[in-house]
Amino acid sequence: MKVLFVSSEVVPFAKTGGLADVAGSLPLALEKLGLEVKIVMPKYKMVKAAGNKTVIGKSLEVLFIENEKYFGRDQLYGDRFGDYPDNLERFSYFSKACLELIKKINYKPDIIHCNDWQSSLIPVYLKTIYKDDPFFYNVKTVLTIHNLSYQGLFDKSQFPQTGLGWDLFSVNGLEFYNKVNVLKGGIVFSDLISTVSPAYSKEIQTKEFGYGLEGVLQGRSCDLYGILNGIDYDIWNPGTDRHIAKNYDANSAEDKLANKEDLQKISGLKADKNSPLIGIISRLADQKGFDLIAAIIDKLLKSKAQIIILGTGEDKYHVLLEKIAKLYPKKASINLKFDAVLAQKIYAGSDMFLMPSRFEPCGLGQLIALRYGTIPVVRLTGGLRDTIREFDTATKQGNGFTFSEYSDSELYAAINRAFGLYKNKPLWKELVKTAMGYDFSWESSAKEYAGLYRQLVSSQARCGVR
Ligand code: ADP
């Protein structure tokens, strides 16, 4: 089985969020199952600057689409002034170039696995412009939606940049309230659709989470699957992580403390092993619940707690967090940047990891935190609902602290339950050990994807042959 995995970002070449982690680890897990996988992504400026690496793992080949005009820029999708205005043109070019490239090198995959709006035009092109091209006969497409709130919406006047005929600018095509919606094209035209957790696959078919596409998704519900993301257990491994002060595993979790001390030291926090240290690593976006954090942060920092935040994003949160940093220099460490090494130190050195998301397709932060024995405090939505359970002191089951209603008082109460248990050192130790025992590696999820591919290739998809 040959798979072409198309992604606009891939670890270690370029990353803005979870998609890059998935694109840099799921293909390797599929390869382990015996599938032949190649990845294709744009050759951004940062990729060029990083040198000539063209593989991930030992030998999984990454193909790059090079175009100075479109990808020779500092960022992937936009700068501080907003999205690049020519994004539709850029990713139309990318999608077409992927198809032309595999034709040129004569690599005919069984499956083209597209991800998010940036590669959503591929299924559209295959069923229209390329439909009579014998090279693409029997090539099937899977589209994974990593976050439905990014749909690739553009003004109608830009539609010709896709190279598609106006007949496709219709309700059954890419038209969406008189705009171009690229993700919608992918949903309509791909053979199968998946999203990154079972809970999110249900949520996106509702008005609350569907961002206007709930009807289109309901229309394809029989082709829509929810497969939980995994994380790469070789990369995220406190036992071997070279960037942390002291390595540890579930049986030596007390060595986590050395990482806390190191983190307090390098981030200017007061050296105090008994203060509960909360870590947050996140895009600073409304989705991630920063308005709730903003509402309680003063109260929190007036208690014994310390907090370390790493993230970039919306200006309003930068302003707010800079203010907090000034008010509480010894209790709050605010790092407004993207820093993969500091991220690893935070996962290892914090006691708790906060994700009060408004919605969360899967979330990787909580999975990485569990791996490092850092206890997630999360709102039960999407993938957070599928992965985190409130710790029950009686049965000693569970791996974190949770709340349901999107309110600052509920969040505050969940954090306080965590603080309460934190004081009980033997029980906390047990919780850390239990959390580290969960397995969210790719193994089982990669098998689910392989199963989907097989279904498609043997034309036994649930909804019949398309
Ligand atoms: P999303 O994809 O919505 O941003 P996820 O939780 O799925 O959220 O994935 C986020 C990934 O990006 C995690 O690996 C997290 O550690 C990483 N990350 C987010 N912000 C930063 C940052 N400022 N510096 C380093 N890593 C970050």
Q: What is the pLDDT of residue 463?
A: 67
Cα(274) to ligand 1 centroid in Å equals 27
pLDDT digits (tens, 9 = 90+) for 35-46: 999 999 999 999
**Residue 465 above 60 pLDDT?**
no
How is residue 42 written in tokens? 């744009």
| Closest CA to ligand 1's atom 19 | 282
Is pLDDT at 8 greater than 50 in this prediction? yes
Residue 230 has pLDDT above 70, yes or no: yes
Among 197, 236, 283, which residue has the most ligand 1 atoms within 8 Å of its CB, making it the best to mutate?
Answer: 283
Q: Is 20 in the pocket of ligand 1 (CB under 6 A)?
A: no
Q: Quick check: CB of 398 below 6 Å from ligand 1?
A: no
pLDDT of residue 51: 82
pLDDT of residue 466: 45
As a whole-number percent, the residues of the chain with pLDDT over 70 amount to 98
Tell how far the Cα of 225 is from the centroid of ligand 1, in angstroms.
24
Residue 461 is predicted with a pLDDT of 56
pLDDT of res. 333? 98
pLDDT value of residue 462: 62
Q: Whose CA is nearest to atom 9 of ligand 1?
A: 18
Q: Which residue's CA is the nearest one to ligand 1's atom 12?
A: 17
Ligand 1 atom closest to the CA of 196, numbered from 1: 7
Q: What's the whole-number average pLDDT of the chain?
A: 96
> Mean pLDDT over residues 394-398, rounded?
94
Q: Which residue's C-alpha comes closest to atom 15 of ligand 1?
A: 365
pTM exceeds 0.85, yes or no:
yes
286 close to ligand 1 (CB < 6 Angstrom): no
- The Å distance, Cα 15 to ligand 1 centre, comes to 9
Condensed to tens digits (0 to 9), the pLDDT of residues 89-101 reads 999 999 999 999 9
Tell me the sheet residues that pair with 326.
Answer: none
